[in-house]
């Protein structure tokens, strides 16, 4: 459910919605949602000075509760 929620939020704001992938990892340090997008959309998901990524974290923090981490994965790295 959390993956689907974040996927929906990201798909709505990018040029390549079909390339959005979100995976949930339950690690020792808690739950992490890993977001992968088309390389050209990376800037859109992060936003100016990280503003959009912060908004995604804040909304998902409300939906999924505290301790939910969100990583935007830079696939080119």
Partner 1 sequence: MTGSAPDLAVDAAGVTDEQASPESELKPQERRIADLEQEGEIAADYIEGLLDIIDMDGDLDLDVESGRAIVAVVGDGLDRLIGTGGEALEALQELTRLAVLQRTGTRSRLMLDVGGHRARRRIELGKIATAAAERALEQGKPETLTPMTPFERKVVHDVIAEIDGVHSESEGEEPSRRVVILLG
**Residues making contact with partner 1 (CB under 8 A):** 1, 4-5, 8-9, 12-15, 44, 51-52, 54-56, 58-59, 61-63
Indicate the residue among 21 and 44 with the shorter CB distance to partner 1.
44
Q: How many residues does the chain have?
A: 77
In angstroms, give the least distance from the CB of 61 to partner 1: 7
On whether the CB atoms of residues 6 and 70 are closer than 8 A, the answer is yes
In angstroms, give the least distance from the CB of 68 to partner 1: 12
Could you give the C-alpha distances from 19 to 14, 26, 36, 40, 42, in angstroms and in order? 9, 23, 8, 11, 11
């Amino acid at each position: 459910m959390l993956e689907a929620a974040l996927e929906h939020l990201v798909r709505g704001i990018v040029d390549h919605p079909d390339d959005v992938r979100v995976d949930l990892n339950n690690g020792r340090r808690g739950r992490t949602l890993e977001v992968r997008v088309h390389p050209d959309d990376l800037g859109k998901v992060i936003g100016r000075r990280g503003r959009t990524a912060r908004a995604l974290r804040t909304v998902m923090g409300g939906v999924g509760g505290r301790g939910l981490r969100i990583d935007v994965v830079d696939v080119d790295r």
